[in-house]
Amino acid sequence: MFDDATAEEIDVPTAHAMWQAGDLMVDVRLPEEYAAGHIAGAVNIPIRDLPVRQSELPGGQIITVCSTGNRSRRAATTLAALGRTSCSLRGGTKAWAAAGHPVVAGPEPGERRRRPFWRRLTG
């Protein structure tokens, strides 16, 4: 069904820079997996629900994420087929956490921690 759609796979440093810039992360795992630990600020829409719920997402780039990157690759391709700009985080939440980036538990997205504005200007 989605043979013509493509979605880029990105590494953790690229995803982290996009996250810091405010790009939306969508965790496509089941709610119980999401609640066990997810990227701070990521919203949860299970992969099976994306086709009917993608209209709930704001415009702009979407980064899909799961535990290791397999489902998020399929989800990004699904979103691309629906006309959305999307990419998948290679290695998923496990790679994100291994790099020392914020992961939170619970059913809510949690708060993103961004670098202060002056730190972003100086690198």
The catalytic residues are: 66
The first and second tokens of residue 40, run together, are: 């701070």
30/21 Cα distance (integer angstroms) = 26
62/79 Cα distance (integer angstroms) = 9
Neighbours of 21 (CB within 10 A): 10
Inter-residue contact 41 to 112 (CB < 8 Å): yes
Task: Write the DSSP symbol of residue 49.
Answer: G
Nearby residues of 56 by Cβ (< 8 Å), 6 or more positions away: 45
